[in-house]
Amino acid sequence: MDIKREDLLQLYYYLKLTRKLEDRFSSLYHQGRILGGAWTSNGTEAISVGYSYALEKNDIAAPYFRDMGCFLVRGITPKRLMAQYLGKKTGVSAGKEGNVHVGDLNFGVIGFPSHLADNYAVGAGAALAFKMRGEKKVAVACTGDGGTSRGDFHEAMNLAAVRKLPIVFICNNNQYAYSTPLKLQMAIKNVAERALAYGMPSRIVDGNNVVEVFTVARETYDMARNGGGPTFIECKTMRMHGHSEHDSAKYVPRELLEEWKKRDPILQMEKYLIGNDITTKEELDSIDIRVKKEVEDAELFAEESPYPNPEDCLKGVYATPIEEE
Amino acid sequence: MKEITYLEAIKQAMDEEMTRDPSVFILGEDVGIYGGAFRATEGFLEKYGDLRVLDTPLSESGFTGAAIGAALVGMRPIVEMQFADFISCAFDQLVNVAAKNHYRWAAATPIVVRAPYGGNIHGGAFHSQCIEGFFFKCTWIKNRCPFYSI
Ligand SMILES: Cc1ncc(C[n+]2csc(CCOP(=O)(O)OP(=O)(O)O)c2C)c(N)n1
Ligand SMILES: [Mg+2]
C-alpha cells in the first residue's frame, strides 16, 4: 500500500491529539469546568482521523459528534476547540454553542446539528452542488449506528444513489446507541446491508485500524470524484467510554470492553509503525511530547480567553444580506 | 401595472432569478418533467436542464437537507413543497438546521422554501392547511405569506 511515511506519522499524531484533547475534556467535565456535556470518541478515533485525512483540501465534511478527529485534521486548532468547550469567545462558535455542535466552513467542516443523520442529507446537498458546478470535489458525511435508523439517513442515501452524487457516507458502528445495543436497533447483522436497498456499494472496515479506514476512504473518494457515485462505509468499532462523560455505561458487558481494549486504535498503529520499521519508539515519544504541549497550550489559551459579552447572545440571528454588507 | 396571478408572479420571479444567477436552482417533487403540481415550473426543465430543475425522490426532509448543504457551499436553492402541508416532514431540517446555522456557527443558509396552499382545490385536512403559524415561534426563519397585492 502506498502511504507515505510522513502521512503515516501524521495519522498517528492526529490519533494521539484527538485522544489527549478529549481526555482533557473528560477531566474538565468531571471537575465541573465544562459548559454542558462532553462526548468523546475514545477508542474510535481512527474513524474520523482516517476519513478526514483522506480528503483533499477543498472537499467538505459533514461530521457527527464523535468526530473530534475531523475538526483537528481539517485544521481547527485545539485552542479554538478547548475554548469552545469552556464557552469562551475564542471558541469555534464564539460561545454561542457548546462542545461539538459546531463547524467552520473555512476549514470545510459543516456544523453538526444534534439531530442525528441530518448531516447525511446536508452533506448530500454539498455533493449535489459540486456535481451541478462540475467541480471535482467530494463530500463525506458521518453518523453513528443509531442514526442509521432515522429517516434522514435513508432519504439522503436514496437521493445520493439516484443522482450518483460525489459523497461517501460513513457509519461509526460502535455497537451502541446510548444504552441501546445493536440488536434492539436493527434486525440485520451489518449496518452496511442498508446500502443494498439503495443500490449503493458498501464496504465494511476495521474501524480501529486507521490505515484501513484511510485507505478505503481514499479509494471511495477517488471513485466518487470521478463520477462513480456514492459509497457507504461501515466502520466496526466499540465505544469505550459512556455515551457521554456523565454515563458510567453499566449496561455494557465489561468483557466486551476488555476484548476491545486490546484492539485500541492507537496501540494498533504503534505496533504497525514499529513492527514495519517505519518509525522508532523515540520518534513516537517525541510526537507524544508535542501533543501533550499542544493540549496544555490550548487549555491555557482557553482559560485566559474572555467569555462572550452578554449582548452577543442577541447577535447573529440573521446573516447580513449581500447587498447590505 | 399588468395584473397577474400569484402563480404567474412566482413563476416569473423564479425564471428571472434563474436566468440572472446560475447558482439558483429548484428542487422538489415533480418540479421537472411535470412542471410542478401547480405548474409553477412549467417549461423550466427544458430551459434550465435537469440539474437545475431537480425532480427528487419523495423525501421532504432529505431534499430540504440537501438544499441546506448546497446553500452552505454557495448555491441558492428554491425548495418546492408540493403542498404546504408536507412541510411538516421537513420541519426538523428547517427549524434545527437551516434556521440555526448562522446563529450557531456563522454559516449563512440562503434557501427559499415555497409552500403553496389554498387555490380553492377543496384539499381537506392534508392539502389545505395554513402552515405559517407553525413557524411563527421560530423567529430564525423568515415567514413570508403574500395574500393580496396589486
Ligand atoms: C434525532 C435524535 N434523536 C435523539 C438524539 C439523542 N441522542 C444523542 S446521541 C444518541 C445515541 C446515538 O447513537 P449512535 O447513532 O449509535 O451514535 P454513538 O453515540 O454511538 O456514536 C441519542 C439517542 C439525537 N441526538 N438525535
Ligand atoms: Mg453507536
Check which CATH number belongs to the domain holding B110 and give it: 3.40.50.970
What are the CA-CA distances from residue A50 to residues A74, A92, A111, B100 (Å)?
11, 22, 19, 29
The answer to whether the Cα torsion of A189, A194, A199, A201 is positive or negative is negative
Contact A122 B69 (CB under 8 A): yes
* Helices A281-304, A78-85: inter-axial angle, 10-degree rounding: 50
Residue B51 · residue A105 · CB < 8 Å:
no
Would the CB of A177 count as within 6 Å of ligand 1? yes
Predicted pLDDT of residue A1 = 61
Total structural domains in chain B? Answer: 1
Q: Which three cell numbers stand for residue A211?
A: 490505515
Predicted pLDDT of residue B61 = 98
Q: What are the catalytic residues of B?
A: 127
CATH of the domain at A115: 3.40.50.970
- pLDDT of B146 higher than 60: yes
Give the distance (Å) from ligand 2 centre to CA of residue A278.
33
| Nearest in space to B61 (alpha carbons), one of A131, A172, A139, A122 | A122
Q: Provide the residue type at A198 as one letter.
A: Y
- pLDDT of B1 higher than 50: yes
Predicted pLDDT of residue A325 = 47
Give Cα A271 to chain centroid, integer Å: 23
- On average, the pLDDT of chain B sits at 93
Residue B150 is assigned to a structural domain of this protein? no
Question: What number of other Cβ atoms are within 10 A of residue B130's Cβ?
Answer: 13
Q: In chain A, which residue's Cα lies nearest the Cα of B138? A: A317
| Nearest in space to A164 (alpha carbons), one of A230, A107, A218 | A230
As a whole-number percent, the residues of chain B with pLDDT over 90 amount to 76
- Taking the C-alpha atoms of residue B122 and residue A77, their distance in angstroms, rounded to an integer, is 57
Contacts of A113 in chain B (CB under 8 A): 96-97, 100
Residue A322 is assigned to a structural domain of this protein? no
Residue B148 is assigned to a structural domain of this protein? no
> Which backbone phi and psi does B112 adopt, to 5 degrees?
-115, 130
Would the CB of A145 count as within 6 Å of ligand 1? yes
Residue B41 · residue B26 · CB < 8 Å:
yes
Mean pLDDT across the stretch B72-83? 98
Which H or E run contains A170? strand A167-173
Residue B143 is assigned to a structural domain of this protein? no
Residue A104 is assigned to a structural domain of this protein? yes
Residue A157 · residue A121 · CB < 8 Å:
no
Contact B69 A101 (CB under 8 A): no
Residue B146 is assigned to a structural domain of this protein? no
Would the CB of A84 count as within 6 Å of ligand 1? no
Total structural domains in chain A? Answer: 1
Residue B87 is assigned to a structural domain of this protein? yes
Residue A123 is assigned to a structural domain of this protein? yes
For chain A, where are the alpha helices, taking DSSP H only? Answer: 5-30, 45-53, 68-73, 78-85, 118-132, 151-162, 193-196, 210-225, 254-261, 265-275, 281-304
Contact A92 B105 (CB under 8 A): yes
Predicted pLDDT of residue B150 = 46
Predicted pLDDT of residue A322 = 63
ipTM of model: 0.95
Residue B66 is assigned to a structural domain of this protein? yes
- Taking the C-alpha atoms of residue B149 and residue A321, their distance in angstroms, rounded to an integer, is 25
- Which domain covers residue B90, as residue numbers? 6-136
- Which domain covers residue A12, as residue numbers? 5-303
Residue B43 is assigned to a structural domain of this protein? yes
User: Nearest C-alpha to atom 1 of ligand 1 is from which residue?
Assistant: A115
Residue A312 is assigned to a structural domain of this protein? no
Residue A57 is assigned to a structural domain of this protein? yes
Residue A325 is assigned to a structural domain of this protein? no
Residue B1 is assigned to a structural domain of this protein? no
pLDDT in tens, chain A (325 residues): 689 999 999 999 999 999 999 999 999 999 999 988 999 999 999 999 999 999 999 999 999 999 999 999 999 999 999 999 999 999 999 999 989 999 999 999 999 999 999 999 999 999 999 999 999 999 999 999 999 999 999 999 999 999 999 999 999 999 999 999 999 999 999 999 999 999 999 999 999 999 999 999 999 999 999 999 999 999 999 999 999 999 999 999 999 999 999 999 999 999 999 999 999 999 999 999 999 999 999 999 999 999 999 999 999 999 887 665 4
Distance in Å, alpha carbon of B120 to nearest chain A alpha carbon? 32
Residue A127 is assigned to a structural domain of this protein? yes
